[in-house]
Amino acid sequence: MFSRIYNSNTGDNQLPADQNLYTWIAGLQQRGVPIDGVGLQCHLTPNSGLTYSPDLDSMMANMAQFAKMGLKVRVSELDMRIPVPATASGLADQATAYTTVVQVCLMSPNCVSITVWGADDAVSWIPTSGYFHGHRARLLGQGPD
């Protein structure tokens, strides 16, 4: 494992804005700041049209970029919120999104772990955050709504 990590709330998919993250980390490395890896906070909304939907090719390119920089990656905060009441289609999209993230990690030699925000919706941070109203179906198991 690694102990010196930058935990980012961006950078799940490789987007133009992520170049800033790469540049910033490269600057840290050039100045001799010890950094072993990057944590990706994957707070996702499958098929939302936002940047919060995982894309296999984009995430693979992102992992490869971090590997070129000599960095390990861990998915540090994985959840995927969908609106409730959850529909069969929404749950299928959510399952696809979870599968995509797990596939990316398994296919990327520098991806060392995945951490989810609990296993059941009853213990999720989302309802207590004050954000994402109407998005209670978010974790591996369905808690009471």
23 in a domain, yes or no?
no
pLDDT at 19: 79
Neighbours of 64 (CB within 10 A): 14
25 in a domain, yes or no?
no
5 in a domain, yes or no?
yes
CATH for 101: 3.20.20.80
27 in a domain, yes or no?
no
30 in a domain, yes or no?
no
21 in a domain, yes or no?
no
Average pLDDT, the chain: 76
What is the count of structural domains for the chain? 1
Burial of 129 (0-12, 13-18, 19+ CB in 10 A): exposed
15-19, 37-41, 66-70, 114-118: which range is least confident on average? 15-19
Q: What is the pLDDT of residues 56-110, one digit of tens each?
A: 998 899 899 999 999 999 998 888 777 777 788 878 888 888 899 999 999 999 9
Residue for token digits 């999720």? Answer: 124
Q: What is the bridge-based pairing of β-strands 72-80 and 37-40? A: parallel
- Domain encompassing residue 5: 1-15+35-145
46 in a domain, yes or no?
yes
pLDDT at 29: 94
**Three-state SS at 75:** strand
Indicate yes or no: pTM above 0.85: no
For residue 5, list its beta bridge partners: 37
Q: Which of 105, 47, 48 is nearest to 76 (CA)?
A: 105
3 in a domain, yes or no?
yes
Q: What is the pLDDT of residues 3-18, one digit of tens each?
A: 676 666 665 666 676 7
Confidence tier at 51 by pLDDT (50, 70, 90): very low
Neighbours of 119 (CB within 10 A): 11
